[in-house]
Chain A
Amino acid sequence: MNFLSYLINGISLGSVYAIIALGYTMVYGIAKMLNFAHGDVIMIGCYVTFLAMSGQGIHPLAAVIISIVVCTLLGIAVEKIAYKPLRRATPLAVLITAIGVSYFLQNAALLLFGADTKSFSSVVTLPALKLADGALTISGTTIVTIAACIVIMVALMLFIKKTKAGQAMLAVSEDKDAAQLMGVNVNATISLTFAIGSGLAAIAGVLFCSAYPTLTPYTGSMPGIKAFTAAVFGGIGSIPGALIGGILLGIIEILGRAYISSQLSDAIVFAVLIVVLLVKPTGILGKQIHEKV
């Protein structure tokens, strides 16, 4: 029963990683760049939700929607201001810019919201689920997190397969220049990718802070790094890869902490990553999947 409980916690944590990893993997697939500011967009999303909920007394669901809108706009703005002028620059210049944006967002948050820790109240009011006479308790947040992850994945896959904009994303990820010749608006497609990725970051942030309820300007950095690892683990550029990578990472982290050592859980996660990359340098789903978005 304990094992089941650990497993569910792992899947829950992994679901958050998977949603964040989507942002990394989509942007990488389309723009071929690593958006290291992604973790900090999560943090901004959390602050917006927090302020809307506790400051203005807005209903949690409405607060989440406001946060998604703000993050989407922020994602588009960051892309337009910081990354678009560097479209033809070397990948390294773009990478450094992304790190710069990350620091900018952290310090802006430090200035705007202060460094004090805020306690984030969960947006999920669902009661905990008790199974097997209370031996197994699954919190409402866990259920919502896992459900949200599944819904987002399915919706995203459908979006890419069934809509014109989704097909345009696929085309840009395969060959930017050819897509442009076929009449795809590459710039608009890249902006759309950032918008979707950042909107998802807002959802991931709210779920993360609901489960682990503290909020500081550095809240986004560690989950950001872990989710990036998850994206690489699953095969960067692949959407199902992000899902698999995220959930595996969450499960390994929790089980490692439970059965091997609570101190070494991060070390175990990264050791597994190294082994996977040694055996399969492109990540778990790096090669089989041809549609890279």
Chain B
Amino acid sequence: MKKALSVVVTAAMMTTLMAGCGDSNGDAQSAPAADGAAAGTESAAASDAGAASDAGAADGTTFKIGGIGPTTGDAAIYGTAVMNAAQIAVDEINAAGGINGYQVEFKFEDDQSDAEKSVNAYNSLKDWGMQMLMGTVTTTPCVAVADMTAADGMFQLTPSASSTDVIVNDNVFQACFTDPNQGTASAQYIAENGLATKVAVIYDSSSVYSSGIEATFVEEAANQGIEIVAEEAFTADSKTDFSTQLQKAQSAGAELVFLPIYYTEASIILTQADGMGYEPTFFGVDGMDGILGVENFNTELAEGVMLLTPFAADADDEATQAFVSKYQELYGDVPNQFAADAYDAIYIIKAAAEQAGVTPDMSAADLGAALSGAMTSISVDGLTGEGMTWQATGEVSKAPKAVVIKDGAYAAM
């Protein structure tokens, strides 16, 4: 009897574990796709590099664009926004006749912002026949996937992974600012608008993204005459208690706290600062975008928080308005900067593909070479900037905009 019970319980445990795994792979993977992936793995084992191009060339009538990003987990808001907005762009392009006359297929895989899961997602997209990658959304997984795309010669455009480590390979381009750019621009903005002279920085030393921005911010702050009174770090293992860092910032007399971190930790910092009665100006970068969407977060605490981002949903130009209303209609949410980056990214791929005059029957590696060559000669007007251009390094040049949180919404400044 006891034995029977323990067998049942063990079985239940296994089911839950499996179900957990299944869930983390995202809902994009339907049963037939999973079968296809399993079959594809065998051929991938036989000819590793050839698998993607074989599968792509097999139909040759549509462009297959893959996307990777977190749709569950800590950074889920980013991945979901990217997935939704990219789908809008793809649908628009298909309705308008596609790229070079060919229709576009788009498939998005979840990576939970984890490097290992991201590489798995990349492999399963390759088995699906992906020819270009729009991803990944966050920096750490992107660095891992960029090595894979370089080996395969696959064209990769990340909407939002902003570290310079992402673009070391020739086939990878960014639609967003690089981290050095964000740090420098933030310091310049703070100085030019006289927001503060004494500034504290709280950053995540275990994240490439955060420490990258922090380093350039501190460097540029010296040039701008901003005094950094406290430079406090935390790590992925101790990201719940910020009372000490805030205390040090407060006692050093910081009027502004610069937070080059993601919104999850930022929401704790705002709550804890409020608890201790410390009310400086908080200034964030694009990772702060999404803080208003944290379930049960008291958005009053975010009142007056400023962030530097290339996109403001309430901007009054026609393209932004059309995109925002379409996004709201389909997903019931105001799109954030990641959504705008992803929407632009799909159009950037389109512009590059048209410039290079490519067709879907080319192999992924040939497409990659052609698109990478075309990237430096295109100029794209998008939601996140007018006349965006690219250097061969993969870096974009566009101007940042500052946004302030007012009455529980992002408002342009």
Q: Measuring CB to CB, which residues of chain A are less than 8 angstroms from any residue of chain B?
A: 2, 5-6, 9, 13, 50, 54, 81-82, 85, 100, 103-104, 107-108, 110-111, 114-122, 128, 130, 134, 137, 139, 141, 208, 211-214, 216, 222-223, 253-254, 257-258, 261-263, 265-266
Contact = CB atoms under 8 A, between A and B. Distances in A.
B245 interface: yes
A117 B5 contact: no
Most A C-beta atoms less than 10 A away, residue of B72, B73, B234: B73
A266 B205 CA distance: 13
* Majority secondary structure, A binding face: helix
The 6 closest A-B pairs by CB, nearest first: A107-B20, A212-B240, A119-B297, A115-B72, A139-B275, A263-B233
Given A115-B24, A115-B72, A121-B296, A213 B244 contact: no
Contacts of A54: 296
Contacts of A263: 205, 233-235
A103 B267 CA distance: 27
Interface in B1-17: 2, 5-6, 9, 13, 16-17
A53 to B, nearest CB: 9
Contacts of B251: 2
Given A81-B5, A212-B240, 19 more contacts: A5-B247, A54-B296, A107-B20, A108-B16, A110-B20, A110-B23, A110-B24, A117-B74, A118-B296, A119-B267, A119-B271, A119-B294, A119-B297, A121-B298, A128-B277, A262-B232, A263-B235, A265-B238, A266-B238
A174 B241 CA distance: 38
B244 A119 contact: no
A26 B72 CA distance: 37
A115 B247 contact: no
A115 B16 contact: no
B237 A266 contact: yes
Nearest to A101: B13
A108 B73 CA distance: 15
28 contacts: A9-B244, A85-B6, A107-B20, A111-B16, A115-B72, A115-B74, A115-B76, A116-B295, A117-B264, A117-B295, A118-B296, A119-B295, A119-B297, A119-B298, A121-B298, A122-B275, A128-B277, A137-B276, A141-B275, A212-B240, A212-B241, A213-B271, A214-B268, A222-B238, A257-B238, A263-B235, A266-B235, A266-B238
A119 B20 contact: no
A258 B268 contact: no
B24 to A, nearest CB: 7
Contacts of A6: 244, 247
A269 B84 CA distance: 44
Contacts of A128: 275-277
Given A111-B20, A258-B248, A262-B232, A222 B72 contact: no
Contact of B247 (A9, A103, A253): A9
Nearest to A86: B6
Contacts of B296: 50, 54, 118-121
A262 B245 contact: yes
A134 B17 contact: no
Contacts of B45: none
Contacts of A111: 16, 19-20, 23
A221 B390 CA distance: 44
B243 interface: yes
Most A C-beta atoms less than 10 A away, residue of B19, B238, B241: B241
B336 interface: no
Given A120-B296, A128-B275, A107 B247 contact: no
Interface residues of B, number: 44
Given A212-B241, A216-B74, A134 B277 contact: yes
B277 A137 contact: yes
A112 B381 CA distance: 43
B112 interface: yes
Nearest to B206: A263
Most B C-beta atoms less than 10 A away, residue of A5, A82, A117, A134: A117
B72 A114 contact: yes
A130 B277 contact: yes
A85 B2 contact: yes
B161 to A, nearest CB: 20
Contact of A212 (B13, B17, B20, B268): B268
Contacts of A211: 241
Nearest to B75: A117
A139 B16 contact: no
A262 B244 contact: yes
B244 A257 contact: yes
A23 to B, nearest CB: 19
Contacts of B264: 117, 214
A118 B298 CA distance: 11
B241 to A, nearest CB: 6
Contacts of A261: 233
Interface string B171-206: 000000000000000000000000000000000010
Contacts of B205: 263
Contacts of B9: 81-82
Contacts of B247: 2, 5-6, 9, 258
B71 to A, nearest CB: 9
B13 A100 contact: yes
A122 B294 CA distance: 15
A242 B237 CA distance: 22
Interface string B248-268: 100100000000000010011
